[in-house]
């Protein structure tokens, strides 16, 4: 039975929490996002004082220590503050949806939405600008039993679409599509040297990686290729560039659309989803080298996976409906919780002590509080008439001109 989120807040707004193998947690303070002097003066002239007797910039520092869920419930000016560009953003769920209405099942018409954990509302995102991508296909007669994937990542507070399938089974994206939650705008990244689909996609630090996959057809060069786009290094340049990295030793990782999970300066990935027999490999970002995945890690990798702040990997065993975390010292997986709802899970995202799991039917997202003992679960239902294709955890949207459903 589902526990609806309408009575429960996903508190991503507290300090960042991740597990060590001994079960301890580490925490990071959120950063303030400062406005320019002119913007700050304009803000001051239009708003009542946040705290009577204090300048707003000092009041904002004080209020940043209070959980946003509390500020939201106190007064209108504080509610506005937590959604302003100058306030440390709390985290929200972001999702890509498709319509379940028969008359609206146009693969091109995807829906991008964000779930605000404080107001408990789904909020619509603008669509990418026309002409920035080819028509996305989610289904094709040649693949009756499966959806065609849209591969996306979250990095540096942005949502990035990297790979998808277009008409005639061609790659749909020649450039990444980038959504900024603060500005609510889409942009394009640098041209991908070898546009692809059914690849491995992942993030380490501020760098995006795509590996293997296929183009319009199978090609050994594409199947073994690895490219990196470092958003941190190129942050002050207009677009940046993709850099070629060391090739994979073979093309085994072009069989499925898979996650390359960023973990402790490495990327971990397997070549097929689910609990089928599979190969695994680990890429060392610093040394640009590939190595074998530890036996215990590979044996327990039986479903979608994600890393909490790139420190602890969580995986859902699709067959058992079990969420586990990887103990690197014992090379084994430790069960957090088992629940029927987790069976057949499509995707996992993790941040600040919460693991979010996209349900098999795409009709909701299970949220697991892995810090609580025992772990707590509840469900965020998808908006009516929609089912999830992908999920991520990113900074909340600014609140101006957002339509709520």
> Which has more pLDDT, 202 or 77?
202
Q: What percent of the chain has pLDDT over 90?
A: 59
Q: What is the pLDDT of residues 310-339, one digit of tens each?
A: 999 999 999 999 999 999 999 999 999 999
CB 166 within 8 A of CB 136: yes
Q: Give the CATH number of domain 93-395.
A: 2.120.10.80
C-alpha–C-alpha distance, residues 350 and 88, integer Å = 19
Which distant-in-sequence residues (6+ apart) come within 8 Å of 159 by Cβ?
94, 112, 152, 153, 178, 179, 181, 392, 394
Average pLDDT of the residues in 99-122: 79
* Cα–Cα–Cα angle for 41, 44, 49, rounded to 5 degrees: 155
Q: What is the pLDDT of residue 141?
A: 61
Q: Which of 19-28, 110-119, 202-211, 247-256 has the lowest mean pLDDT?
A: 19-28
CA distances from 129 to 178, 185, 188 (A): 11, 9, 10
Mapped onto helix, strand or coil, the DSSP state of residue 74 is: helix
Q: What is the pLDDT of residue 131?
A: 78
Domain ranges for the chain, please list them: 31-88, 93-395
β partners of residue 305: 315
Q: What is the pLDDT of residue 351?
A: 96
């Amino acid at each position: 039975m589902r526990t609806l989120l309408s009575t429960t807040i996903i508190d991503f707004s507290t300090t960042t929490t991740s597990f060590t193998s001994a079960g301890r947690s580490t925490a990071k303070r959120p950063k303030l996002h400062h406005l320019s002097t002119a913007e700050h003066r304009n803000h001051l002239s239009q708003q009542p004082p946040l705290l009577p007797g204090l300048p707003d910039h000092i009041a904002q520092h004080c209020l940043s220590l209070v959980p946003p869920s509390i500020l939201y419930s106190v007064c209108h000016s504080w509610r506005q503050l937590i959604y302003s560009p100058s306030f440390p953003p709390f985290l929200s769920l972001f999702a890509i949806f498709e319509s379940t209405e028969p008359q609206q099942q146009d693969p091109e018409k995807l829906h991008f939405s964000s779930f605000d954990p404080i107001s408990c509302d789904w909020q619509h995102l603008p669509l990418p600008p026309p002409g920035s991508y080819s028509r996305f296909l989610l289904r094709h007669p040649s693949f009756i039993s499966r959806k065609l994937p849209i591969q996306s990542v979250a990095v540096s507070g942005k949502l990035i679409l990297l790979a998808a399938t277009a008409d005639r089974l061609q790659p749909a994206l020649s450039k990444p599509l980038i959504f900024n939650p603060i500005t609510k705008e889409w942009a394009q990244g640098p041209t991908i040297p070898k546009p692809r689909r059914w690849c491995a996609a992942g993030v380490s630090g501020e760098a995006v990686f795509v590996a293997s996959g296929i183009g319009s057809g199978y090609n050994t060069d594409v199947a073994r290729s690895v490219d990196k786009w470092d958003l941190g290094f190129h942050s002050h340049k207009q677009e940046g560039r993709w850099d070629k990295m060391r090739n994979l030793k073979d093309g085994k990782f072009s069989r499925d659309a898979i996650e390359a999970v960023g973990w402790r300066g490495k990327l971990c990935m397997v070549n097929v989803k689910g609990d089928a027999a599979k190969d695994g490999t680990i890429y060392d970002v610093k040394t640009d080298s590939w190595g074998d995945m530890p036996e215990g890690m590979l044996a327990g990798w039986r479903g979608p996976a994600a890393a909490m702040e790139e420190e602890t990997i969580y995986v859902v065993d699709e067959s058992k409906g079990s969420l586990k975390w990887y103990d690197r010292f014992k090379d084994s997986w430790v069960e957090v919780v088992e629940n029927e709802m987790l069976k057949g899970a499509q995707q996992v995202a993790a941040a600040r002590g919460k693991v979010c799991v996209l349900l098999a039917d795409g009709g909701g997202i299970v949220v697991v509080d892995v810090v609580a003992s025992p772990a707590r679960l509840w469900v965020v239902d998808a908006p009516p008439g929609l089912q999830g294709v992908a999920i991520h955890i990113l900074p909340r949207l600014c609140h101006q001109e957002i339509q709520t459903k």
